[in-house]
Amino acid sequence: MAETGFTLPVWTAAAARAALQGLRGEPVDLQQPLRLDAEGELQPVPIEAAAPLAGGSVLAMARSDPGEGVLDLTRGVLVWVQAQWLADAGPWLELRAGEGVGVIAASGEACLSAYARQLLEWNLRPLVPADRRLALEVLIPEGRRLAERTSNAAFGVVEGLAVIGTQARVQRSAAPEQLEEALADLRRRAAGADFGGDLVLVIGENGLDLAPRLGLPPQLLLKAGNWLGPLLVAAAAAGVRRLLLFGYQGKLIKLAGGIFHTHHHLADGRAEVLTALAALEGLGGADLARLHAAASVETALADLDQCQPVLAQRLRTRVAAAIEQRSRAYLISHGQPGPMEVGAALFDRSRRVRASGPVGGRLLTALSTPALERPGGAP
């Protein structure tokens, strides 16, 4: 498989390091040597240009390239980073969201994933003198327009693109190659001496970013993309004992309808699944029709929250329980009737966990315990 390009955090880090080089009075490398993980070798990442500005700051630019054959709205997007020294006391780095960079509406903080911040730590901090502080302003001139094509605002990110990503390379979430990569990762983990039998499957970057914030250990997380069915079967075959499905409610609801490849080009049925489960909870008539006609699962549940909040929560819980039941049936139908527990925990677009199934609630608590940080997995 051809290697993909880099995620937006990598291009941001490359531009930031180039700007810092200029700020230090050094020649700027057009191929920035970056550490892309905690222990890996330096990887050259190209930038477009860097130049000093009046007032002593330096501006550098990189152009996003997600790689061949990848559908990604950041392709060709310019990422600018302006760097300057700060003389006051404080942390070594001050991040500012410039034009086109998303901010978290609740706090006004620039929306950079934990991995994006780690890249800056690994690659910039060694170049910042102990008596200096560095200010970085990240700008994505096209970001505000491009953000309109994403669900950023629904997740509480406004004014531009979020600089998120949990790894250096772009993943093809709907392509067969992505499944092969995930299966290989799963088998490698299961064969490890420290494997404790626990796994958390997440679908997208929001889940990968949110899960550690809720206390789920990063070493348990595996990005499934849209290939949940094959990965469930492979996990059971590999000896996973406790598996938590952690994902956005508008996506994982497909599993409650028996749809185990969740890419929208292949199957949807979300409105029908939600309506059927709502009817089982007692919703009927015009209320049920409105639920079915809503623009999305998120909108349907939010509207139901306004008029019948208790029923809305019961419905979310029923969805999570149905996901667990269908997952168990899927495993049995694919020749894996073994002891693996499958739980489901659902979050909404405001990044709050809203419901879990009977198994999921228990696993969400158990897998978040500090004991899991020790080798050997489950307590």
pLDDT 10s digits, 81-127: 999 999 888 999 999 999 999 998 888 899 998 889 999 999 999 99
Q: Using 50, 70 and 90 to split pLDDT, how confident is the model at 378?
A: very low
Residue 154, pLDDT score: 60
What rounded mean pLDDT belongs to the chain? 86
Q: pTM of the prediction?
A: 0.59
The tokens of 336 are what?
A: 């894996």
Cβ count near 133 (within 10 Å): 17
Residue 150, pLDDT score: 73
Per CATH, the homologous superfamily of domain 8-161 is: CbiD-like (3.30.2110.10)
Q: Using 50, 70 and 90 to split pLDDT, how confident is the model at 2?
A: very low
Q: Tell me which of 29 and 374 has the higher pLDDT.
A: 29
Tell me the sheet residues that pair with 104.
Answer: 157
Residue 340, pLDDT score: 94
Q: Using 50, 70 and 90 to split pLDDT, how confident is the model at 379?
A: very low
Q: Tell me which of 348 and 33 has the higher pLDDT.
A: 33
Extents of the domains making up the chain? 8-161, 176-373
pLDDT 10s digits, 258-267: 887 665 434 4
The tokens of 89 are what?
A: 């006391």
Mean pLDDT of 147-175: 74
58 φ, ψ (degrees, to nearest 5)? -130, 140
How far apart (Å, rounded) are the C-alpha atoms in residues 105 and 163? 15
Mean pLDDT of 60-76: 82
Mean pLDDT of 30-38: 92
Q: Using 50, 70 and 90 to split pLDDT, how confident is the model at 198?
A: very high
pLDDT 10s digits, 225-281: 777 888 899 999 999 999 999 988 888 888 888 887 665 434 467 888 899 999 999
Q: What is the DSSP string of 242-281?
A: EEEEEEEHHHHHHHHTT--S--TTT---HHHHHHHHHHHT
pLDDT 10s digits, 134-146: 999 999 999 998 8
Q: What angle do CA 145, 151, 155 make, to 5 degrees?
A: 120
Is residue 364 classed exposed, middle or buried when 0-12, 13-18 and 19+ CB atoms within 10 A define those classes?
Answer: buried
Tell me the sheet residues that pair with 93.
Answer: 134
Residue 74, pLDDT score: 85
Q: Does 371 have pLDDT greater than 60?
A: no
Residue 119, pLDDT score: 95
